[in-house]
Homo-oligomer: A and B are copies of this chain.
Amino acid sequence: MAETIADIGEFGLIDRIHQLVKKRGVELPPSSLGIGDDTAFFSPRPGFELLLTCDCLVEGRHFLPEFISPFNLGRRAMSVNLSDIGAMGGLPLYALVSLGLKADMLVADVEAMYNGFLEELNPFKASIIGGNITKVKDATFIDITLIGQVKKGKIVLRSTAKPGDSILVTGFPGQAAAGLRLLQQSGVNAESKKDPLVRAFITPSHRAWEGSRVGNSGLATAMIDISDGLLGDLGHICQASGIGAELDQNKLPLSEDLKRFADEFELNPYELVLKESDDYELIITCKPEKEAELCSIITSTGKVPVSKIGKIVNKPGEIILKLVDGSQQRLTPSGWNHFTQ
C-alpha cells in the first residue's frame, strides 16, 4: 500500500524531506545551515539588502487538488513568492516552507510538492533552508517565506511612479482566469491540459529574472507584480505613489488564446485582461525616454514580451481607460478582496 504521512510520522517525514532537499536542491554555502537545528542561518552578502516576503496557498481557497498535481502545486506556491521578490528588483536566496498537511496524505505527494519547489528555486541557485510541518484536519496549506537579495540602491518600490511615466506590462494578463474557467467547465483531462490558457493557470509565470534586470538597470521608476489583477495592482501603484493612470484600450496585450476564449464565451476580452487573474506578471513605470532601453532589457531574457499600455497622470487615484472609439471610461481598481467576496 502507498505510504502515508501517518505511516512514517512527523520526524520520518522531515527526514525524507531533508534527504530530498540535500539530493535535488543546490548545495548551501559553507557559512550557512539548512534543515536540522532550532533555526537555519546564513551570512548575508555585504553590499546587498535582504528582501522578505511570504505568501500562502490554502486548499479550497487558492487551489483545488482535483485541478492541480502536487508537483505543479509546489511550483505554483513558490512562483507566487518568486514573483514578489522579482517585483522589488531582487533575486531569491532562501525559502522556508511551512506546511499544514493531512495525516492521510501520501508521502510521495509531499515529495512531489518539494520537487515542484526545487524546480522553481534551482535555476536561481536558491535553497530551502528550513520550515515547519503541522497536521491539519480539513484544508492543506502551503505557506512559504522567501528571502531574496538586491544590490543596495537598486530596489524598485511601488510608491515612486511620477506623472508622465510610461506604464509597461509583461506578458498577457487574464490568461490564468480564463484557464480556471475552462477547467471548471471541462475538468482536468488530456485535452484541457494542452490548452495554453489552462497551462497559464496551472503553471503560472513569474517574472523574477525580468524584475531583477529591471532593478539592476536603474531605469524603472516603480514596479509591482500582478496578483490582484492588472487593474487591482495598477491601483496599488496609484495609491502608493499618489498618482493616477491613463490606459489605452487598444494597447492592452491580448493573446490570440484569450481572444478565442472571449469569443467563445461572449465576454469582453479587455475586461479579462484588466480583472482578477493569477498571472504574476509585472507592471513597470519609467520615464518615456527610457522606455525603449527598458523594454529591450526585459525581453532580453527571451521569455516574455512587454507592452506599453498607458501613462501615469497627475490625478491621484483615478484610472481612465481610453476606448478604441475615442471615449473614456473611469475604472475602479477594486482588486481581489478575499474576505468580502
Tell whether, in the assembled complex, residue A36 and residue B337 are in contact, meaning their CB atoms are under 8 Å apart.
Answer: no
Number of identical monomers bound together in the oligomeric complex: 2
- Residues in B neighbouring A124, C-beta threshold 8 A: none
Instruction: Select from chain B the residue with minimum beta-carbon distance to A150.
Output: B41
Interface size class of A (residues with CB under 8 A): 35 or more
Tell whether, in the assembled complex, residue B103 and residue A339 are in contact, meaning their CB atoms are under 8 Å apart.
Answer: yes
Tell whether, in the assembled complex, residue A54 and residue B130 are in contact, meaning their CB atoms are under 8 Å apart.
Answer: yes
In the bound assembly, the distance between CA atoms of A131 and B158 in angstroms comes to: 17
Q: Is A72 an interface residue (CB 8 A)?
A: no
Interface residues of A (CB under 8 A from B): 5-6, 8-11, 13, 31, 33, 36-44, 46, 49-56, 58, 60-62, 83-85, 87-88, 90, 94, 96, 98, 100, 103, 129-139, 141, 143, 145, 147-148, 150, 152, 155, 157-159, 223-225, 240, 335, 337-340
Question: Could you say which of B5, B9, B39, B339 contacts A10, with CB atoms under 8 Å apart?
Answer: B339
| Contacts A339-B6, A340-B9; A157 near B43 (Cβ below 8 A) | no
Which among A42, A143, A224 has the highest number of chain B CB atoms within 10 Å? A143
| Contacts A54-B98, A54-B130; A338 near B37 (Cβ below 8 A) | no
Tell whether, in the assembled complex, residue B10 and residue A135 are in contact, meaning their CB atoms are under 8 Å apart.
Answer: no
Tell whether, in the assembled complex, residue B134 and residue A58 are in contact, meaning their CB atoms are under 8 Å apart.
Answer: yes
- Residues in B neighbouring A335, C-beta threshold 8 A: 11
Tell whether, in the assembled complex, residue B58 and residue A136 are in contact, meaning their CB atoms are under 8 Å apart.
Answer: yes
Tell whether, in the assembled complex, residue A40 and residue B51 are in contact, meaning their CB atoms are under 8 Å apart.
Answer: yes
